[in-house]
Structure 1
Amino acid sequence: MKIRWKILIVLLTFSLVPLFVLKMHGLKSLTHLGSDLQTQTRVTLLERATASLSHMAKATAAIINLQDRLYRTTLKSVQAEAEFRLRDDDTEPLPPVVFITSPSETISKPVLISDSRYKKRALMGRGTARKSQHRMASIQRGDLIDLPIAPDNISFWLTNDLPLKEAMPDITRLEPLIHIFQACSLTLENLALWQDVSLENGLVATYPGHNAFPKKYDPRTHEWYKQVKKNLKVTWTLPALDAATRSLCYRLSAPLFNDKDEFIGVVSLVIPVGTTINSSLLINPESGTTIMMVSSSHPETEQEKKLLIVGQIGDDHDKDISPQMISHFWLVPPEPEWLKEDHPEFNTLVEDVADKNFGVLQMDYKGIPSLWTYTPINMRLSLLIITPVNEFTAEADEAEQYIRESVAYQYEGSSLIALAVIISVALVAYFVSQSLSLPIRKISEAVIKVGEGDWNARADFHSSDELGELAENFNIMVPQLREHSSIQQALSLADEAQQSLFPQEVPSLVGTDIGARCVFSEKTGGDYYDFIGCKACGPDVFAAAIGDVSGHGISAALLMTSARAYIRALTGQGKPLVEVISKVNRLVTNDCAKTGHFMTLTTIICDAGNKTVNWIRAGHDPALIYTPETDSFEELIGEGLALGVDEDYLYRDYLTQMESGQILTLYTDGIWEAHGPAGKQFGKDSLRRIIRDNCHRPSQEIVDQLLEEVTAHRKGLPLEDDCTVIIVKFL
C-alpha cells in the first residue's frame, strides 16, 4: 500500500470518527431540547390563556351583575309609574300627536328618524311595493336596514280584537309615561332596545315609538307574557326574536296590578343579547371559536347532565360590528338542541351554569381539546365560549416545527461537512505524499479557501523553519477571523431584530395626527419607541413610550427588548401609569444589576377625546409642547430617575391639558447631539425651529423634515447614536 493511502486512512479515521460521534450526539440533544421546549411552551401558553380568559369572565360577570341591578331598578320605576297611571282616573289632556298603529292603519304618525342602534332584517322579495318603500332596489332579503323610530313619542299598538274606542281610556292614562320612558332611556343609554307596557285588553305601549310590529303581533300569546302572568313576579325570559327588529333579545318583565291587586298586564325591558355581554369576550374571536348561550333552566336538564343551547352566533357575522348590533347575528336553533360531553369536567360546567358561576375549563369539544369559558348573563342564561387549544398553542407548534426543520437542516449540513472533510483529508494526504518542497503552494491554497468562506481550511504541515512558523501563525489567525466574523454577524442580526420590534404604523384616532420614526446608527443601539393599545382605557386613548438605553451593542438591544415587553404587557392592562412605570423600573433594575446599564424613558397616555396627556418622565429629555397661537414652547420637566438605577424609586405622574393646534414632541438625545464636520452639535434650538417652521404640516412630514435636516447637518459623517422622534398634533 502506498504511503498516500496510508496517510489518507489515518487522517480519515482520526477526523471522521469524532465528527460522526459529535454529529449523532448533537442531533439527539437538539431533538430532545426541541421536544422539551415545545411541551413547556404549550403548558405556559395554556396557563396564560386560562388566566386571561378567567379574568375576562370574572370582569364580565361583575359588569353583568351591575347591569342587572340597573335593569331591575329601571323596571321597578316604570312599573310603579304605569300602575299609578292606570289606577288614576284624573287623566291629563292628550298631546296633539298620539302615535297609534294597528294591523289596518296608522293614526297621527309623527316624524320618524333613523338611529344606528335600531336595525331590522329586510323581508323583501315579494313585490316591488316593498322595494319602493325602502327606496333601495339593491336591498336583498335578510339584509340589515334602518328601523325608523320616534324618540319623542310612545307608539300604541292595537291588536286585532281591540277597538280604538275601547283602547282610548288606557291610551289617555299611559301617554304621560313618555317622561318616565325618556328618563329611563337616558339612564340605560344603549343597554335596552325597547320599553313597553302590554295590557290584558291587547293594548301595547312601546318607547321609542315605531310602526314595525307584524300584523298578527299579540304579546298575550308569547311565552314571556304567559310566564309573568303565571308567576306574578319579575322574570328574566330566555332569548327570542324581537317582533319589530327580528333580532335575538331577552326580556326583563314585571306584572302590573290594578287597585284590587288584579293582574292587568306586563311592563318589560327588551334587551339585545349582545348588550350585556362584555365586548372583549366576543370581538375578534379566534378562528374556530364557538360562541353560544346556554341554559340549565329546563325540565330535561334536571334529569340529565346537559345544557340547552338557546342561541349561537352565526358564521356570517362581521367581527367589527358593535356590541349593540351583534344580536342580529345570533341564530336560534329551529328545534331544541342540547350540549353534552362525556367528560367529568362537563358535570362541573353544568353545576356552575346552574349556580350562576363563572370560570374556565379544559376539555374536548367534538373531539378537539378546547378551553370552555363561561359567565352568567342573568338568572336563566350563561354565555359559553369554546376555543380550540391549538389556537393558543400555535406558537409552540410553530416552534416545534421550526426545530424539526432545523434538525433536518443540521443533518444535511453535517453530512456535507463530513463529505468536505473527506475531500480535504484526501487532498492533504495527496499533497503530504508529494515533495515537501511545495509548502508555499499549500499555504496559498489554504488562504484562497479562507477567502472563499471556508473557515475549516488550515495549512496542514509542520516545520521548524520560517515556513513552519508562517503556517502556524496562519492556523492561529483563521479562528480569530472566524470569531470576528461571527461577532459582526451577531451584531447585524441583533440590529435587524431591534428594528423589527418597532411599530409598523401609528395609531389613527379622531382629533389627533401622529407621526413617528427611528433612524439607526451603525452600531446596535438602545433607542426605543412604541404605541400600545389599551382596551381598558377606551377607544380614544392610546399609550406611547420613547426611551434610550445607555451604551451600544447586543446588551443594550436586549435591555431595550426586555423593557419593551414589560411596558407592553403592563400598559395594555389599563393600570395606573405610576404603577406601570414603577413595576417596569423594578424589572429593569433587576436586569441591569450586574451590567451597569440604565434606560431613560418618557411614557404618555393620550386621551384624544378629552385632549389630555398623562405622563411620567424617567430621566429622559423633556417632551416639548409647541403652541402656534402664542409661538411658545413648553418643556414637560417632571421629576423622575432613569430606569435601572433604584428599584424602589417612587415615580410621579403628571397631567397636562392640551389645546387644539398644540404639538407634542418626544425625542431622544441622538437628535440634538448629532455632530457636523466642525464638531458642532445640531442643538435643541434647531429642533424647535424646525417644529415652528413646519407646524402647519402633517405630523409625519414634520418628523421626516427633522430627520432630513439632521442628516444634512452631519454632511456625510456616520450617525453616532440612534435618532427617534414622536410627534402628536391635537386637531
Structure 2
Amino acid sequence: MRIRWKLFWLLAALSLVPLLLLRINSQFALSRLSDKLSARVGAHLVEEARTRMGRLVEDHARLLQSRRQALGLAVSMQAMAVEEALRNPSPPPLDPARVILLAAGPDRGMGRGMMGKGPESAVAGDDGRPGPDDDGLVDTPGYFRIAPDGTALPLPIDKNRLTLRLPSRLDRQRAQPRLDALATLLGPCRRIASDMGPLAHIQATLLADGLGALYPAKAIASDAFDPRQSPWYLAALALPGPVWTSPQPEPGTGRVSVAVSSRVTGPDKAPAGATAIFTPLDDLLASVTMPGHIAGDLRTYLVVTEPDGAGRPALLVEAGEVRRSHEHGHGHGWRAYVTPSPLGSPDTDVLGAMAEDVAGGTSGVRRLTYEGQDCLAAYARTADNEALLQIAPVAEVLAEARAVAADVEASIRRLYVFGSLIAVAVMIALAFLSFSASRAVTRPILALTRAARRLADGDFSARVARPGQDEIGELGRVFNELAPRLDAHMRLCETVSLASEIQRSLLPAEPPDVPGLSLAGTSRYCDETGGDYFDFLPFDGAKAGLLGVALGDVSGHGLEAALLMTTARALLRPRAAAPGAPAAIVADVNRELTRDTYGTGRFMTLFYLEIDRAAGTAAYARAGHDPAFLFDPATGRVTELTAKGMALGVAEEARYETGTVAGLAPGQVILIGSDGLWEAENEAGKMFGKDRTRAILAQAAPKGAQAVLDALFAALDAFRGARPLDDDVTLVVIAVTAPPQPRRPHAAQ
C-alpha cells in the first residue's frame, strides 16, 4: 500500500472524528443563534445597545472599585513596611548599590549626592534632567515625564534601586539611621510593584522631617518647594486609612495620576509621615475597560459633580488643565494639581440630567452629542459624587449590537473553546505520528532537499539517486526530470533577454532632426519582448526630402512576435527607400512577409506614412491598423486618416490604397498609435478609449510632439492605476512647426 493511503487512513481516524464532532457542535450553535436572532428581529437596536452599555459600565465601575481596593490594600502594606523599618532600632547600613541618594538645595534644582562617587551619587542640572553619574538608569516603557510644553521626554529609571531624598537643611549624620531604614523599603516596594503591575507606577514615602523615598529610582529632586504641602501628604495625615486624592501630576513625571496614600506612625505611635502609590489615570482606566468591546471609538472618563453658579450640580471630567503654582519659579512636581474641566457637549439639558444622576449615585445611559457625533453615554457610580463615564458613537454601537449580541457571543465562545480543544488534540496526535514516521519518511526527503539546494546553487547536474516506488520516490523522479528542463528554460530566458536587447536596439534611439517638423515616438512593452514596432525613415536619392514613418503591431507577444517584427522591419526599410507610393510599398512587404507566415496564424498590422515637407503633403497606407489621428488647430477638430487594406501576412495578393493629406500647416499634429493605448483597461474593466485619446491630443497639441506623447502616457498611467498593461503601447507624434519650404532647383536636380 502506498504511503499516501497509509497516512490517509491513519490521519482520517485521528482527525475526522474530532472534526465531525466540531461540525455537529458548530451546527447546533449556529442553529441556536439563528433561532434567537429570529426571535429578536423586532427588537430596537439602540435600546439593546443602551442595555449592554449600562451593564458593562457598571461592571467596569465595580472593576474600578476593586482596583482601588487592591491599591488601598497595597498602600496599607507599604505603610506597614515603612513603620516596621522605622521601628527597627538598628537597620542595616545603606547599600550604595541599591540606592540613589539625592541632596537638593534651595538655590539649585539638584545637588550632588553626599556619598561620593559611588553608584548612589547623582548630579543633575537646573532643568531636572538626570546627571552623568546616573549609572543603571535606563529608559523604560511607561516611564516618561511631561515637559512644560506638553511633550513627553524620556525618564530613565532603575527598578532595582530606590531614590532617597535628603533635604539640604538636614544633617547627613543625624539623618543616617532614618536613611538606612528607608533604604530597606526596596524589597517591599519591588514586591508591591510586581503584584500590582503598571498600577503601582510610582511609590513615594515622605517623613515629617522631609526625608523621602521614591521607587523606582530616578535622579530628580528639588527643594524649590516643600513636598509635605502636597495634597496626598496632607490628606494622609488628616484622615486614617488609605485616602484617595483627586487627579494630580505625578511626582517627577507630571503625568495626570490618582494617588492613594496612608499615614505612617513612628515607634511612639505619633504620625511620622505618609506613603503613597501613584497610578496614571489613563493606565487605571485602561485596566478596567476592554477596547473595542462595545465600539472601537469608546471613550472612558472619571467624572465628578460640583455646584455651578446657580447651585445645581455640574458634570466635570477629572482630567482637565494642569495648574501650577508660580510662587517658586515654574512650580515643578508635587505642588501642581489638576482642575476638573467641563464635558464638551452642546446638549446642556442632557448634561444637567447626567449631573443630577451622578450626584445622586444613580447609574444611567443617555444620548447626547459629543465631538460632533451622536453618542450613547453610560455612567455608573464609583464613589460619592463620582462616576465612571463611557461614551461611544451610536453608529459603532449599532454595528456592534447587530454583530455580537450577548447570547451569540456565548455560543461562539463555546464553539471556539470546543474547536480549540479538538484542534489541540489533532495537533498532538499528528505530532506524535510525524515523530514516529520520521525515520522512514525524512531520509528520502532530506536527499531530495540536498539535491534541490544544489539545483538552487546553479548545479543543473543534481539528481536524486535511487528514488523509491512511493509518492516521495515519484517526487524524486519528477525532480530528476525537472533539472534538465530548468536548464533549458534558463537558456531560453537568456535567449529571450538577448532578443529583447536586440529588439529594443532596432527601435530609433531618438527621432531625426527634420526642419519644420517636431517628432516623438516610443514603445512600452507589456512583456520582455514585444510585438510593436515604429521607425523613422529619412530618405536620400530619388526620395530625398521625404520622411517615412512606420508603426506596426504584431499579433501576440513574446519572442515569436519580436522575431516577426524584426522580419517586417528588415523588409520595409529597403522597400520604402525605393520609388513607389505607400500602397505599393505595403503591398510588396505583405507579399514577402506572407510567404514566411502563411499557415502560422501570425500577422501584423501596419500604418505607413510619407511626408513631403516641400509640398506640404503626406501620403499613407493602412494594413489593418487603426487609423491615425490628425489635429487641425484651425478647426479644433481631430479627424482620422483612413484607407483600405488588410493586415500583413494574411493574404499574399492583398490590395492596399494610398490616402493623402494636403496642405499641412503649422500647428497640425498627426498621432499614430497601437490599439494597446485605447484598449487599455483600468481596474474596473473600463477602456481608455479613442474619445479620451482625441481629447488629450487636442489639449496637448499646441505644446509640441513630445508634450503630446508625455500627456498620453501620463493619462494612461493615471487611468489604469495598479492594473498592468495587457498589450504593448506604441505612439508616434508628428507636429508641423513651419510652413512648406519648396525645394530649390539645384536641390531638386
TM-score range, shorter chain: 0.3 to 0.5
Over alpha carbons, which structure has the higher Rg?
A: 2
Q: Give TM-score scaled by structure 1 length.
A: 0.43
